[in-house]
C-alpha cells in the first residue's frame, strides 16, 4: 500500500477533525492498517482555517505531520487559499463548489465537487456534510471500505442518525467515483 498523506481543511464548524478521526479509526480498527491523526494549531488557527492531518499506512509511521499531502480537501475559500500550495504534485485536491472558487494553477488533480449542495438537496441536514466529504474521498481513492467508515460512525452516534450518515457517505462516494485515481 502506498502511504496516504491527507489534509482536511475548512472552518471550525464543518467537522473536518471528526472526519479525520473517523477515517483514521476505520483504517486501524477495521482494516489492519496503521494511522496517525493530528491537529497543529498555530497563530493561523485563530484566523479560522482549521486543518487536520491523517497519515495511513501499512507500516509504522514515525513522523506524524503531513508536509505535502497527496490528498488535500479544502472546504472554505480561506482554507483553499492557505493550503492549496502544499499539495504534492499529481495529488488530489478536492474542493466544495459552494464554498470555494478555485483560481490558482496547481500541479494537482483538482476536483470541484458539489458536496454541500448535494447534502442539502438530498438530505437537508448540513451536519452530515463532513461524512459526504469522507465518501468523496474514499470514492476517489479507495483508502478504506465504506463499511469500515460506517462501523466507526455507528459507535459514535445515536442509532436514529445512522441512516442519515450512511446516505451522506453514499452520496459522497457517487460524487467521488467518476474521478477514481
Residue 169 in grid coordinates: 457517505
Among positions 35, 74, 137, 173, the unique one binding a second copy when judged by CB under 8 A:
35
How would you label 157-173 residue by residue, b for 16+ Cβ within 10 Å and e otherwise? eeeeeeebbbbbbbbbb
Residue with cell 458536496: 115
Among positions 36, 79, 113, 173, the unique one binding a second copy when judged by CB under 8 A:
36
Whats the size of the chain, residue-wise? 181
Query: Which window, 1-9, 29-37, 83-91, 96-104, contacts a second copy (CB under 8 A)?
Result: 29-37
Question: Which residues inside 87-146 make contact with a second copy, applying CB under 8 A?
Answer: none
User: CB of 31: closest distance to a second copy in angstroms?
Assistant: 11
Cα–chain center distance at 63: 20
Which residues contact a second copy by CB under 8 A?
Answer: 12-13, 17, 21, 24-25, 27-29, 34-43, 45-46, 60-61, 63-65, 155
Amino acid at each position: 500500500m502506498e502511504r496516504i498523506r491527507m489534509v482536511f481543511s475548512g472552518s471550525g464548524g464543518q467537522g473536518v477533525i471528526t472526519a479525520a478521526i473517523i477515517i483514521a479509526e476505520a483504517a486501524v480498527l477495521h482494516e489492519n492498517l496503521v494511522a496517525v491523526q493530528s491537529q497543529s494549531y498555530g497563530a493561523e488557527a485563530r484566523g479560522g482555517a482549521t486543518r487536520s492531518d491523517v497519515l495511513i499506512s501499512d507500516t509504522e509511521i514515525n513522523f506524524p505531520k503531513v508536509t505535502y499531502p497527496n490528498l488535500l480537501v479544502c472546504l472554505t475559500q480561506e482554507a483553499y487559499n492557505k493550503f492549496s500550495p502544499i499539495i504534492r504534485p499529481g495529488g488530489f485536491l478536492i474542493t466544495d463548489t459552494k464554498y470555494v472558487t478555485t483560481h490558482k494553477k496547481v500541479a494537482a488533480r483538482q476536483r470541484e465537487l458539489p458536496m454541500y449542495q448535494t447534502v442539502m438537496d438530498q438530505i437537508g441536514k448540513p451536519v452530515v456534510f463532513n461524512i459526504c466529504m469522507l465518501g468523496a474521498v474514499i470514492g476517489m481513492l479507495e483508502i478504506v471500505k465504506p463499511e469500515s467508515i460506517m462501523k466507526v460512525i455507528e459507535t459514535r452516534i445515536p442509532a436514529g442518525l445512522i441512516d442519515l450518515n450512511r446516505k451522506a457517505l453514499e452520496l459522497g462516494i457517487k460524487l467521488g467515483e467518476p474521478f477514481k485515481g
